[in-house]
Structure 1
């Protein structure tokens, strides 16, 4: 019996030594592995806020998708280069405001954005280490995007910027120039990410973009007046209240609100693939 106890104690001690050795080896392995960054794709929805959606309502969001590369600078900070495509649009028919419903304007636009952002993790994130596989984060940066608002009349698609729907490019309004179809964006967002394996992560992010344009929706200032337009299509699209009866677009009447720039937001799910390297632990 005494011999059996000695054998069992010996086996127990041996197993414990092996377990401790394996744990130490694993810790050394994790400490030697470095998370360098990620590249991935994202898919979700986009929505617009501006002169046609003044109350920030969510109604019929449209598709958004993108790709990005994230470079890790330590466990808490990363830099990101991203390319995003988003569709946005809205219509006065969704509004409960009597003036907006009578105004009867609508638009759609495709957005192509390239942005440089900084990501800041709340927790240490190292997908190679099972103890640090999850973190919420915030992101902010600057981007440049292209857009081109359009609408439909009689089932036909018309791009609005060339028409100068607020008198841009006419002799009656020499101070109103055709607006640029390129603008800056300032992304500000929050997200979460989780490493499902050493090689792959999933994430979810909501990012709001402040912009430098008030013409994402082709609406900003006052009506120019129907008499200014020689093009009959431009005349019809600058004031579509005639579809409900007497037109309201007298010259000088407020058409939009130029005191605030347009904005848009994306909400996307991402899949990313990790880039890692091994650095030998320094000798002690």
Structure 2
């Protein structure tokens, strides 16, 4: 009995369709993602950090130091935005610029590096609408939670250099031309440490010039201009 000889080319051709099936699946996923694309933004900001604490008890413009950030924003609806942000920069101050005789005699200064990660919710007062021919802008308020690490240029004591912060503030956003947006924001960071300026906590010396006020925690601020890009469509080959 003779049996037919099967050639390699006689195998079922299912495999040749596999790439097409995979591509169709990817396209289906991207088409579904397109429905959510216009809700996603990525952006960057530049600005400055400032500080209030033992060496600068009040907000002073001369103590602004450079800072920058990257952020991801998700807009589930017109009134609400959710933002994750990574920021970094410097804070610093100097007693010699104070009018307080005690601070002038103390003559202390500091410079600290700040790295912060945060997640906040923004409330848009004017229901920021993402329409092609609309004038889209809105003031907003924001609040959330973050985590910061700080690195004083000269650490004179043993203390923790990281911790939780509570960011909150106000801003304004404006869509200059689809898909580009600009924004201006001012934010305060409430901290739970008294050592941003390397001077704080309970007194460790009888020298009053080496002591801070342990009853008041340090605070820092971040002011920035930002540019962001809104994704409207994901390309499917």
Q: TM > 0.5 between the two? A: yes
Distance 1:33 1:110, change over 3 A: closer
Counting only pairs closer than 5 Å after superposition, residues 93-112 of structure 1 correspond to structure 2 as: 93-112=96-115
For 2:201 and 2:106, locate their aligned partners in 1 and report how far apart those are by CA, in whole Å: 14
> Offset at 1:254?
7.3
For 2:203 and 2:67, locate their aligned partners in 1 and report how far apart those are by CA, in whole Å: 32
1:257 correspondence with 2:213:
yes
For 1:257 and 1:126, locate their aligned partners in 2 and report how far apart those are by CA, in whole Å: 47
For 2:116 and 2:73, locate their aligned partners in 1 and report how far apart those are by CA, in whole Å: 16
SS at match of 1:219: coil
> Offset at 1:94?
1.1
Counting only pairs closer than 5 Å after superposition, residues 185-204 of structure 1 correspond to structure 2 as: 185-204=165-184
> Offset at 1:104?
1.1
For the 8 Å contact 1:114–1:143, the answer to whether it is kept is yes
The higher radius of gyration belongs to 1
For the 8 Å contact 1:223–1:253, the answer to whether it is kept is no
SS at match of 2:174: strand
SS at match of 2:168: strand
Unaligned 5+ segments in structure 2 are 1-34
1:272 correspondence with 2:205:
no
Alignment partner, residue 64 of structure 2: 61
For 1:37 and 1:219, locate their aligned partners in 2 and report how far apart those are by CA, in whole Å: 42
TM-score by length of 1: 0.66
Unaligned 5+ segments in structure 1 are 1-31, 151-158, 165-177, 226-249, 279-284
1:205 correspondence with 2:185:
yes
> Offset at 1:273?
0.1
> Offset at 1:58?
2.3
For 1:148 and 1:34, locate their aligned partners in 2 and report how far apart those are by CA, in whole Å: 38
Alignment partner, residue 50 of structure 1: 53
For the 8 Å contact 1:72–1:79, the answer to whether it is kept is yes
For 1:123 and 1:34, locate their aligned partners in 2 and report how far apart those are by CA, in whole Å: 22
For the 8 Å contact 1:127–1:197, the answer to whether it is kept is no
Deviations 1:142-175, CA, capped at 9 Å, x for gaps: 100100112xxxxxxxx21xx32xxxxxxxxxxx
SS at match of 1:93: helix
Counting only pairs closer than 5 Å after superposition, residues 77-88 of structure 1 correspond to structure 2 as: 77-88=80-91
Distance 1:129 1:113, change over 3 A: same
TM-score by length of 2: 0.78
> Offset at 1:83?
0.1
For 2:208 and 2:50, locate their aligned partners in 1 and report how far apart those are by CA, in whole Å: 30
For 1:253 and 1:194, locate their aligned partners in 2 and report how far apart those are by CA, in whole Å: 48
For the 8 Å contact 1:92–1:104, the answer to whether it is kept is yes
Distance 1:133 1:52, change over 3 A: same
Deviations 1:90-137, CA, capped at 9 Å, x for gaps: 011111001111111110011000000001100121233433511111
Deviations 1:197-239, CA, capped at 9 Å, x for gaps: 12100111011111111100011146534xxxxxxxxxxxxxx
> Offset at 1:191?
0.7
For the 8 Å contact 1:75–1:124, the answer to whether it is kept is yes
Alignment partner, residue 130 of structure 1: 133
